[in-house]
Amino acid sequence: MRVDQFDFALPPDRIALRPAAPRDSARMVVVRPEGLEDRIVSELPQLLRRGDVLVFNDTRVIPAQLEGRRGDASIGATLHKREGPREWRAFVRNARRVRVGDRIDFGQGVHAAAVEKGEDGSILLAFEGAEPVELLLERAGRMPLPPYIAGKREADARDADDYQTMFAREKGAVAAPTAALHFTPRLIEALDAAGIGRETLTLHVGAGTFLPVKAEEVSQHRMHAEWGRITAEAADRLNAVRASGGRVIAVGTTSLRLLESATGEDGVVRPFEGDTAIFITPGHRFRAVGGLLTNFHLPRSTLFMLVSALMGLERMQSAYAHAVETGYRFYSYGDASLLLPEG
């Protein structure tokens, strides 16, 4: 398939710069084979079935955006994947001014050396000193807002809370699993009362999620790997839900990608710990999930390809056209879509 088949026009004023308040008041388009329905996120308990389970990603966003200097050159670094106790792979602004062996000063007593350059243009950074890297980032880093927000405003104190889900526990992501930003304690109570379960897994989202697809053919694109974990206990509970007739509903594409990575051809979810670079495109046979709650994604992106794989390209093109025409807010701080391939 050609990448341009996944293109669509989006007016710039549809990009949300702040989340809805309260979070569960965001609009939500429900996409089923029989058509579209406009709802709001707080109505989710009425739209799922007793016995279904929502699967959340409990990763926590770290302050992975760094600004520093190498000599007289200004260097920006966005960490995107941990490679060792003190090593992080990073996308670097002004990377041509950084050579292997160079030392970058990120301020606040935080320094890192450039260890190697990757084929994708990334640089492996090794942080100096004995302090845990997490403490160094808390001191010198800032919240890594997506480029479509950061290009319009600076990150501020509100983002420290706004860009973190209520489930965030395991530090390591450089982008939020944004579908879960819509959830509130009030909504969780309503889901509990409706007999809808919840489960958690961990996938440390990398900055590669925002990279444009530059290839002309979908098959030519290469995904960046991300680290994830599903425990044996969680896998057993998910298998039990499916055996009893409940649906596994992924909250966010990150949860979906890890669930599909951990599920065999036999439909059994297995424990998982390690990297996944799964690339889900039309033609993929879904083995684990019976639905997806997700935000609206960028044109020509791997995530729009993923939702098109789940629901069909024409149906998702229609859903996105409807969202644009009726004023839905897009991307990380935007509104939601509930995708139910079996109605």
Chain-wide mean pLDDT for the chain? 95
Residue position matching structure tokens 């001014």: 97
| pLDDT score for 224 | 87
The Cα–Cα gap between 181 and 45 comes to: 16
Tell me: pLDDT of 61 over 80.
yes
pLDDT in tens, 286-334: 999 999 999 999 999 999 999 999 999 999 999 999 999 999 999 999 9
Tell me: pLDDT of 120 over 90.
no
Full-model pTM: 0.94
Which stretches of 4-128 are assigned E, i.e. beta strand?
Answer: 27-32, 35-40, 53-57, 59-61, 65-70, 73-82, 87-93, 103-105, 111-117, 123-127
Q: What is the mean pLDDT of residues 202-221?
A: 87
Burial category of 318 from C-beta neighbours within 10 Å (exposed 0-12, middle 13-18, buried 19 and up): middle
Tell me: pLDDT of 103 over 80.
yes
Return all residues near 134 (Cβ < 8 A) that are at least 6 apart: 62, 171
Q: Are 225 and 277 in contact (CB under 8 A)?
A: yes
Domains and CATH numbers, the chain: 3-61+160-339 (3.40.1780.10), 65-141 (2.40.10.240)
Q: Where are the alpha helices (DSSP H) in 226-284?
A: 232-243, 253-262
The Cα–Cα gap between 182 and 338 comes to: 12
| pLDDT score for 341 | 97
pLDDT in tens, 225-277: 999 999 999 999 999 999 999 999 999 999 999 999 999 999 999 999 999 99
